[in-house]
Structure 1
Amino acid sequence: MAKVKRARSTSPPDGGWGWMIVAGCFLVTICTRAVTRCISIFFVEFQTYFSQDYAQTAWIHSIVDCVTMLCGLGFALCYSPAIAMVGKYFSRRKALAYGISLSGSGIGIFILAPVVQLLIEQFSWRGALLILGGFVLNLCVCGALMRPITLKEDQTTPEQNHVCRTQTQDFKQASPCSTWTKEWVQTCLCGSLQQEYSFLLMSDFVVLAISVLFMAYGCSPLFVYFVPYALSVGVTHQQAAFLMSILGVIDIIGNITFGWLTDRRCLKNYQYVCYLFAIGLDGLCYLCLPMLQSLPLLVPFACTFGYFDGAYVTLIPVVTAEIVGTTSLSSALGVVYFLHAVPYLVSPPIAGWLVDTTGSYSAAFLLCGFSMIFSSLLLGFARVVKKMKRTQLRFLAKESDPKLQLWTNGSVAYSVARELDQRDGESVALAMLGSSPT
C-alpha cells in the first residue's frame, strides 16, 4: 500500500487544506456527538419497550458516551484525532476553526432531532437505529480528508530520535536476542513517553483535569432527560423534538460566534476567563430548569443553555492548547476527553436514581448545576492564585535588588542580573591579567 506523505515541517497554515480538515471534523461531530445526543429521543421508547425505570434505561446513553471517551473504540477513533488535527492546522484563527468544526454537533441535533422522531413513528426505534447506523458510515469519508502535517515545534529533538533509532538498529544487528537491545528499546520508549506526557505534572493541567470531571458530570444528564422532562410537564412529542432542535441550532450559534469573538484582539488574552464564564452560566441555567414547566418557558432555557454549551465546547481545545502547547495537544486532548468518560458513565444513572427516588427532576438538575458552577469556580480560583504568586515574585525581586529584572514565562522564572554580574567579573579579571607583567 502506498504510504501517506507527511507534509513538510512548517508553521500552521491557518487556511489552505486546513479548511478541508475543518470540514472533516465538522462531519465527524455530526456523526458522533449529534447522534449520541439524539439518544435522548429514544429514551422514552426504550423505557416503554423494556419496562425499566429511569436509572436502568440511562445506562444505554451512559455506556455510549463513556466508551467514546474512554477507549479507542468506535467514535473515539474519529472524534479526538479529528479535533487534534484542527489544532495542528490553525494558530491565529484557532478558536474560529474549532467553532466551525464543533458546530457540527448543534447542526446535527437541529436536523436529526425531528428526523429521528419521524423515523421512530414510521419504522419504530429499531428501524430508526438501523438508518442512523447507515448515516454514521460517512465517517469513512471524513477520515479520507485527514492529511498529516509536521510542524516546526514537533522537530524539537530530531537528533535524539535519530540516534535512538540508529543505535537500536546497531544493537539488533549485533545481537537480535541481546538483553542490551531490550533495555535500550525500553529506555527510548520511556523517554519518548515521558516527553509526550510531561504536561501531566503541570499544576495548571491538573486543575483543568479536575474541573473537567465536574463539568462533564453536569453536562451529560440534560441530553438524556430533557425530552422526558418536557413530556412530564405536558409538552407533546413533536414539541419536545422541537426543543431539542432549538437547543441544537443555538448550539451552532454559540460554537461559531463565541469562537469568533474570543479570537478578537480584545478577548484573545481572556479565552480562559470566557471558558469558565460559559460553564458557570450553564450551571445557572440548570438551577432554573425545575421552575420552567411549560413550552414558552422551556424555549428560552434551550436557547441559553444551548448557546453557552456550544461556547465552552469550542474553547476546550483552545484552553488545553494554551496550557500544554500545540506539540502535546493531541495527547492532552486525549487525556481531557478520557476524563469525560467516568462522569459520562455515572451521571445519567445517578440522575435517574434521583428521579426514581424523589419522583421529581429537581434534585437531579440541581446537582448537575452545582457541579458545573463548582467547575467554573475552581478554574477561576486557580487563575487568581497564580496571578497573586506572579505579582508576589515581581514585588520580592524589585525589593531585593533594584538592578534585578524578573522575566516570567508561565511558571518558569529566571534572572538576567546574575549573568550581567558574571560578565562584569570576567571582564575585570581579563583586564587585570592584561595589565600584569609577563
Structure 2
Amino acid sequence: MGGPRWNILSPAPGGALSGGSPVTSQMAHRAEPPDGGWGWMVVLSAFFQSALVFGVLRSFGVFFVEFVAAFEEQAARVSWIASIGIAVQQFGSPVGSALSTKFGPRPVVMAGGILAALGMLLASFATSLTHLYLSIGLLSGSGWALTFTPTLACLSRYFSRRRSLATGLALTGVGLSSFAFAPLFQWLLSHYAWRGALLLVSALSLHLVACGALLRPLSLAEDPAVGGPGTQLTSLLHHGPFLRYTVALTLINTGYFIPYVHLVAHLQDLDWDPLPAAFLLSVVAISDLVGRVASGWLGDAVPGPVARLLMLWTTLTGVILALFPVALAPTALVALAVAYGFTSGALTPVAFSVLPELVGTGKIYCGLGLVQMVESIGGLLGAPLSGYLRDVTGNYTASFVVAGAFLLAGSGVLITLPHFFCFSAPTSKPQDLVTETLGTKVPLPSEGLGEE
C-alpha cells in the first residue's frame, strides 16, 4: 500500500476485453515522482554539474589578465570570451531541453560534457582572440547549454514533496566551487601557464560526462499526454501562468546580479580599500550558500504554493538592494551584504521548484529551457543599465534603487499566479492527462496551478 503507484498504459487501440487482438505491448509509468531513491544520485550529479559549469564560469576571471598580456588586446575585447560563453549557455538551453525530451537527459548531458571539455582543449592551442571566442565561447558554451537545464529538469521529475530541498542541495555546488576553483586556477596558471592550465580545466570539464551517466530517465504517467517538443512549446506559449512566471523571472534577473558586478565599485566610491571590498563578496557567497539550503528545507516544510515563498525572498532581496545606497557605515554594509547573500541565495532553489507546479513534470524540460532563454535577457541588460545610471548620476545610488525596483516588480507579478493565496500545496498532475487502460480513457487529477 505504501509502495509506488503505477499506471499501465496500453498503446494498442484494442484489447482482449474489447474483442480485438491481445495487447501487444505495455509500458509501465510511475504515477508520481519517487521523492528519493535514485533521485539522490541525480542530486549528486546536479551538484557536481553545477560546480563544473558555473563554478568554472565564476572563476574564469583569473585567466583574464593572462589573455590580455598574451594577445596584447584591450580588456573589453578579452571580456567577450566569457560573455559569449554565458550567452550561448543561456540561449542554447531550449536546444538542450528539446533534445532531452526526445532522447532523454543522459546522452544529451554526456554529449555536452564532451563539447565543454573539447572547447577548453582547443582553447589551449589558441593563437588569437577569435580562436578563444569560438572554442570557449561557442563550443564550451554549447556544451554548458546541453548540461545544466536537462540535469535540473531531470531532478525535478524525481522529487515532488522534497523538490525544493533537493534543488537547494544541488545548487550549493555553485557556491562551494566558486571558493575552490579561483585559487585552484591561479595555482595552475603559476605552475603550468595558461595553455597548460586550460588543458587541465578541459580534463576537469570532462567529468561532466560522468555526471550525465548518473542521470537515469524516469517515466511518469503524464508523459504520453504532453506530446513532443513542438507540441509542448505551442502549449506553453498559450499558458497564461507560465508566461507571467517567465516575465517575473526576467524582471528578477535584471536586478539580481547588480551587487556581483558593481558592489565592489560602490564600496570603492565610499573610500573602501580594494581588498576589504572584494572580501565582502566572499561574505555574500557564504550567505548565499546557507540561504540555498535553508530555503530548500523551508520550501518543502511550509504548506502552500512555493511561489509564495519565492515572492517573500524576492521582496526581501529587492528591499535590501534599495537600502545599499543608504548604508554608509561599514557595519551596516556588512549586515546588508549578509542579508542580500542569504535572500538572493534563498530565492534560487524555490524559483526552480515553482515551474513543475505550473506546467507539470511532463513539460519540465521544455518549460525550463524556455524560461532560461527568456530570463537571460534580464541578466544581460541589468549590468549595462546599472553602469549607465552610474555614468549619468555619478554614483551607484540610482543603480541599486532601480535594481531593487525590478525585483519588487517581479514579486508583484508572482502574486498573480493561480492559487497563490491557497493554503495547501498544489499537485503537479497535468490538467489534460488521460490514460488509456484496456481501451478505457480515465482522466487523472487536474494540474495543481492549471492553465489559463
Q: Does TM-score exceed 0.5, indicating one fold?
A: yes
Q: Identify the residue that residue 186 of structure 1 maps to in structure 2.
A: none
Describe how 1:96-107 pairs up with structure 2 within 5 A.
96-107=165-176
Contact 1:8 1:149 in 2 (8 A): no
Contact 1:21 1:146 in 2 (8 A): yes
Q: Identify the residue that residue 167 of structure 1 maps to in structure 2.
A: none
Q: Identify the residue that residue 415 of structure 2 maps to in structure 1.
A: 380
Contact 2:305 2:420 in 1 (8 A): no
Q: Identify the residue that residue 280 of structure 1 maps to in structure 2.
A: 315
Q: Identify the residue that residue 27 of structure 1 maps to in structure 2.
A: 48
Between the aligned partners of 2:407 and 2:447, the Cα distance in structure 1 is 32
Indicate the RMSD between aligned Cα atoms, in angstroms.
Answer: 3.6
Contact 2:418 2:450 in 1 (8 A): no
Partner of residue 253 from structure 2, selected from 202, 205, 216: 216
What code does the residue aligned with 1:203 have? Answer: G
Shift of the alpha carbon at 1:313? 0.9
Shift of the alpha carbon at 1:410? 4.7
Describe how 1:12-411 pairs up with structure 2 within 5 A.
12-38=33-59, 62-71=83-92, 72=95, 73-112=142-181, 132=201, 134-156=203-225, 193-195=230-232, 197-264=234-301, 267-292=302-327, 295-381=330-416, 410=449
Contact 1:117 1:241 in 2 (8 A): no
In the alignment, structure 1 segments of 5+ residues that lack a partner are 1-6, 162-188, 388-406, 414-438
1:69-96 deviations in Å (ceiling 9; x for gaps): 1015131111100100101111221111
Shift of the alpha carbon at 1:303? 1.6
Q: Which TM-score applies when normalising by structure 1?
A: 0.69
Q: Which moved more, 1:200-209 or 1:245-254?
A: 245-254
Between the aligned partners of 2:217 and 2:447, the Cα distance in structure 1 is 34
Pair 1:9-2:29 in alignment: yes
Q: Which TM-score applies when normalising by structure 2?
A: 0.67
Between the aligned partners of 2:374 and 2:356, the Cα distance in structure 1 is 16
1:206-260 deviations in Å (ceiling 9; x for gaps): 1111112111111133322334444454444543443233222221211111111
Contact 1:251 1:307 in 2 (8 A): yes
What code does the residue aligned with 1:35 have? Answer: V
Over alpha carbons, which structure has the higher Rg? Answer: 1
Contact 2:157 2:361 in 1 (8 A): yes
Shift of the alpha carbon at 1:315? 1.0
Judged with a 3 Å threshold, the aligned counterparts in structure 2 of structure 1 residues 141 and 341 are, in CA distance, closer, same or farther, namely same
Q: Which moved more, 1:274-283 or 1:77-86?
A: 274-283
What code does the residue aligned with 2:58 have? Answer: R
Contact 1:26 1:101 in 2 (8 A): yes
Q: Identify the residue that residue 426 of structure 1 maps to in structure 2.
A: none
Shift of the alpha carbon at 1:132? 4.9
Structure (1 or 2) with the greater helix fraction? 1
Between the aligned partners of 2:265 and 2:189, the Cα distance in structure 1 is 16
What code does the residue aligned with 2:88 have? Answer: V
Residues matched between the structures, number = 352
1:178-218 deviations in Å (ceiling 9; x for gaps): xxxxxxxxxxx7xx622454132121111111112111111
Q: Identify the residue that residue 429 of structure 1 maps to in structure 2.
A: none
Between the aligned partners of 1:224 and 1:127, the Cα distance in structure 2 is 29
Contact 1:68 1:341 in 2 (8 A): no
Between the aligned partners of 2:192 and 2:265, the Cα distance in structure 1 is 21
Judged with a 3 Å threshold, the aligned counterparts in structure 2 of structure 1 residues 373 and 40 are, in CA distance, closer, same or farther, namely farther
Judged with a 3 Å threshold, the aligned counterparts in structure 2 of structure 1 residues 274 and 135 are, in CA distance, closer, same or farther, namely same
What code does the residue aligned with 2:404 have? Answer: G
Shift of the alpha carbon at 1:312? 1.3
Secondary structure of 1:272's partner? Answer: helix
In the alignment, structure 2 segments of 5+ residues that lack a partner are 1-26, 96-141, 423-445
